[in-house]
Structure 1
Amino acid sequence: MRRLLALVVIFVAVLGLTALGVWQVQRLMWKTALIETVNARINAAPQPLRAGPGGWPAFTAERDEYRRVTLRGHFRHDKETQVYALTDLGAGYWVMTPLETPDGTVMINRGYVPTDKRDPATRAAGQVSGEVQVTGLIRMSQNKGWLFSQPNDPTKDQWFLRDVAQIAKVRQVALPGWFIDAEAMPVPGGLPQGGLTVVRFTNNHLVYAITWFTLAGGLAGVSLWLSRRGGREGGN
């Protein structure tokens, strides 16, 4: 009876582990397709970004994030917001500046400045006036950070998330619910420094799938050994 119960438990466990392996294979296929899609988007020629009759498009992460676009306008430096950032260049801030275009205003992440250059007065040369052309990647508004990140505190002008809606409310400017990560471009004084978008996806699903299938196979082997052992003992 105990052996039968053990075989039933092992059988259920094998089914569960196999299901986990199949799920990881499905995740692998999804992640592989996602990586291919994003790589195609970031390497494509930039497309002009224009508003339609109903205003700016309602972009979605699945359909539009990391699409490469270009647009022209004038920066509203008086509405600039600095968002704390940890980058490959070290700690600093993303310079988020609205860009006024003939179709409306869009938030641009102009790029990175180190902590001692947060104040625009310390990088006045980079506060360009006149019409500029911006090329960059569409990004979704960030209203959630990593596990231990801090929430924005607009009352102290401390920003940790690129939450476009919240910034727009505080700066009193109408913006769509997405922003553009600007590519590197010549800037007087060299700051802000664009082109630092990190496009990196972890893809360990194959390892996980192999692990689950290996465990399922091992338990199936134990089940087969118990069955044969029980048959031999019963024959005696």
Structure 2
Amino acid sequence: MSHDGRKTRKLIKAARPSPWLTTLSLLAIAVLIGLAVWQVQRRAWKLALIDRVEARVHAAPIALPPPAAWPAITAASDEYRHVSITGRPLNDRETLVKAVTEEGPGFWVLTPILRDDGTLVLINRGFVPADKRDPATRADGNTSGTVEITGLLRMTEPKGGFLRDNDPVHDRWFSRDVAAIAAARNLGAVSPFFIDADATPNAGLYPIGGLTVIRFPNNHLIYALTWFALALMLAGKLFVTFGGGLFRRKNRRNSFVHEGAGETAARGTGSDAGTIVEPT
């Protein structure tokens, strides 16, 4: 075997990936494909969720389920359901919760409503700016008689807001934690959910209802395409690595190496001729 032939074979051998690297690459491809398929499934689930919520929001309001059914209410089956409730607001027990809305920063006004059956339900009556946090500045909006409110059923928000914990001792609230608010206001047993009031105007303008934000991020298709693309790129790299070696070996079998006359003079065809040697 010629020197060039041995050198080429060494280069081909060095270009082959190790079995461990190959195995890890194949596992990575499988994981990437699995992630892509999972994102496709998540996208289908998200689209179905959006359709369900849209149907609930735009449906005609229904009566609030009876207390016996409250333990079975879940976010998956009931959140954003359009409901109506009748009762007497307990305005002296309202709670202000920090809010940032399209109207600017301010507070949500959560007021318990006492129903005829004696049960209590927290109502998010809407938004007030900071200069309206004192109930005396919006007394016209605080109806004391029996009222009917329609809105969207929402699930409790325990443990505070983003990076901020509720502080009942100092009456600082960053999320609508129904149980914690009920305990702080000595309300006793209340519904495990609250209701976002709709945009029906209140006397004196405040609170401003109907500001519920319904948004479901749906980037699953982008994620799926990203995972599929990474899997394809890695598979392509493996193909080039192995396929390139096979192509090089095939080309070696069909090629010839020209050696100088001084290397194998005994097989020369002339005094100055080189030797045509087929590599083995």
> How much has 1:230 moved relative to structure 2?
1.6
Identity %: 50
| 1:75 aligned to which of 82, 89, 94 | 89
**Computing the radius of gyration over CA atoms, which structure comes out larger, 1 or 2?**
2
Q: Which residue does 2:154 correspond to in 1?
A: 139
Q: Within 5 A, what are the aligned runs for 1:37-48? A: 37-48=52-63
Alignment of 1:206-221 (within 5 A): 206-221=221-236
Task: Indicate the residue corresponding to 1:151 in structure 2.
Answer: 165
**Counterpart-to-counterpart distance in 1, 2:180 and 2:103:** 27
Which secondary structure state, in structure 2, belongs to the residue aligned with residue 45 of structure 1? coil
TM-score where L is the length of structure 2: 0.80
Taking CA–CA contacts closer than 8 Å with sequence separation of 6 or more, which of the two structures ends up with the larger relative contact order? Answer: 1
Residue pair 2:161, 2:174 contacting (<8 A) in 1 also: no
1:14–1:133 Cα change, 3 Å: same
Deviation at 1:233?
A: 3.2
Native 8 Å contact 2:160 2:166 kept in 1: no
Using the TM superposition, give the Cα deviation of residue 232 of structure 1 relative to its aligned residue in structure 2, in angstroms.
Answer: 2.3
Report the counterpart of residue 165 of structure 1 in structure 2: 179
Matched, 1:86 2:94: no
Task: Report the alpha carbon displacement of residue 50 of structure 1 after superposing the two structures with TM.
Answer: 4.3
Equivalent residue, structure 1, for 2:215: 200
Structure 2: tracts of 5 or more residues without a match: 1-12, 253-280
Q: Residue in 2 aligned with 1:124? A: 139
> Does structure 2 conserve the Cα–Cα contact (< 8 Å) formed by 1:140 and 1:177?
yes
Change over 3 Å in CA distance of 1:234–1:216 after alignment to 2: same
CA distance in 2, matches of 1:117, 1:131: 24
Which residue, 181, 197, 201 being the options, matches 1:182? 197
Matched, 1:115 2:102: no
CA RMSD of aligned residues (A): 1.6
Amino acid across the alignment from 1:195: G
Does the 8 A contact of 1:94 with 1:112 survive in 2? yes
> 8 Å contact 1:109–1:179 — kept in the other structure?
yes
* CA distance in 1 between partners of 2:102 and 2:123 (Å): 20
Q: 2:38 aligns with which of 16, 19, 23?
A: 23
Q: Relative to 1, partners in 2 of residues 1:8 and 1:55: Cα closer, same or farther, differing over 3 Å?
A: closer
Distance 2:27 2:73 in 1: 44
- Where structure 1 has 5 or more consecutive residues not aligned to the other structure, the ranges are none
State the SS of the aligned residue for 1:190. coil
Contact 2:199/2:209, CA 8 A, preserved across alignment:
yes
Distance 1:134 1:94, change over 3 A: same
The separation in 2 between residues aligned to 1:15 and 1:50, in whole angstroms, is: 47
Q: In structure 2, what residue type is equivalent to 1:182? A: A
Q: How many residues align?
A: 234
